[in-house]
Amino acid sequence: MMGNTPEQPYKEVRKVGNIEIRYYPKAWMATVTSKEVSYKKSSNNNFRKLASYIFGGNEGEKEIAMTAPVHMNFEESQSEMSFVMPEGYDMKNLPVPLNNEIQLHESDAEYVAVLRFGGYASDDKIAKKKQELFTELESLGINHSNNIRYLGYNAPWDIIFRRNEVVAAISKEDALKEG
């Protein structure tokens, strides 16, 4: 995304080593689910579908501002990509997508552990950073979900200062404990 792209709001709770603990409030999301389970295979196709929605592929042909980051979840049998809707949107004023593969929903508020990394993302790099995140969380005694979410902040044409993150959900108790 560009430098002036609005970012999904969150509160930094604390930093521990290379890990940042954050609180994300609820947010409205547009999500596409795919049978592809890799970053490489799912990212372009799903991104195009969601971009079409925010650039007018909806009832009323309303344009919606792009936000960062783009969320990607990977599971054994499917993946999801989500765009966060800008602040001020909810089900009352979000236009209905023309593509029925796009689902609008409100995310849950959550505490997460975040590991940031630069460069271009790939399946191998995401897997390596997931393992780094889990290893550091385990060394800190922080329980986590066994699944990560990948967050991407940059447009494909951004070459320098790229920002990527892997995120694992943690409990409020682990997020707020000292140490």
Measured distance CA(155)–CA(103) in Å, rounded:
23
pLDDT at res. 3:
58
What is the DSSP code (8-state) at residue 17? T
In a domain, 57, yes or no: yes
Strands in 28-34's sheet, in edge-to-edge order, are: 11-16, 19-24, 110-117, 164-170, 149-152, 70-74, 79-84, 28-34, 102-106
Q: What is the mean pLDDT of residues 58-85?
A: 95
Write the CATH number for 18: 3.20.80.10
Domain for residue 106, yes or no? yes
- In the structure, what pLDDT confidence band is assigned to residue 64 with cuts at 50, 70 and 90? very high
Confidence at 1, pLDDT banded by 50, 70, 90: very low
Lowest mean pLDDT among 30-44, 51-65, 95-109: 30-44
pTM for this entry = 0.93
> What is the arithmetic mean of pLDDT over 8-24?
96
Q: Is residue 83 part of a domain?
A: yes
Instruction: Count up the domains in the chain and report the number.
Output: 1
Is residue 99 in some structural domain? yes
Q: Are 31 and 105 in contact (CB under 8 A)?
A: yes
Predicted pLDDT at 166: 98
Domain holding 123, by residue range, is 11-176
Mean pLDDT of 102-128: 97
Residue 172 has pLDDT above 90, yes or no: yes
- Residue 179 Cα distances to 133, 144, 163, 174, angstroms: 17, 16, 27, 10
Whether 1 is in a domain gets the answer no
Kindly state whether residue 101 falls inside one of the protein's structural domains. yes
Residue 2 lies in a domain: no
Q: Give phi and psi for 120, each to the nearest 5.
A: -85, 140
> Is the pLDDT at 70 greater than 90, yes or no?
yes
Rounded Cα gap, residues 101 and 31, in angstroms: 8
Assigned domain for 142 exists = yes
Whole-number mean pLDDT of the chain?
93
The verdict on whether omega for the bond into residue 69 sits within 30 degrees of 0, i.e. cis, is: yes
CB neighbourhood size of 2 (10 A): 10
